[in-house]
Amino acid sequence: MACHDALLSELIAAGYPPYRLGVQSIHSLPAPTDDSIALIERLKLALDPNDILAPGRYDARHRWPGR
């Protein structure tokens, strides 16, 4: 995992962000600089208003407060 994390960090720093990560790596993503989190939250609320599917999984508010 240390090798994986180091490689992922280098790729992100070089401008190559991953398009999909496993749950063990989600902490490695940098905070978005656009409104993508707001879009994801609106989609999640519209499609799953009772938070039944993957509860808490796509809620990025705890990862990036103020977004």
Higher pLDDT, 37 or 16: 16
Q: What is the pLDDT of residue 61?
A: 56
Tell me what pLDDT residue 57 has: 67
Do the Cβ atoms of 56 and 35 come closer than 8 Å? no
Residue 36 has pLDDT above 90, yes or no: no
Indicate whether 60 pLDDT > 70.
no
CA atoms within 13 A on the CB side of 56: 3
3-state secondary structure of 51: coil
Q: What angle do CA 33, 38, 40 make, to 5 degrees?
A: 105
Q: Read off the pLDDT of residues 5-33 as tens digits, 9 standing for 90 and up.
A: 899 989 988 989 888 888 787 777 777 77
Question: pLDDT digit string (tens) for 39-49?
Answer: 888 888 899 88
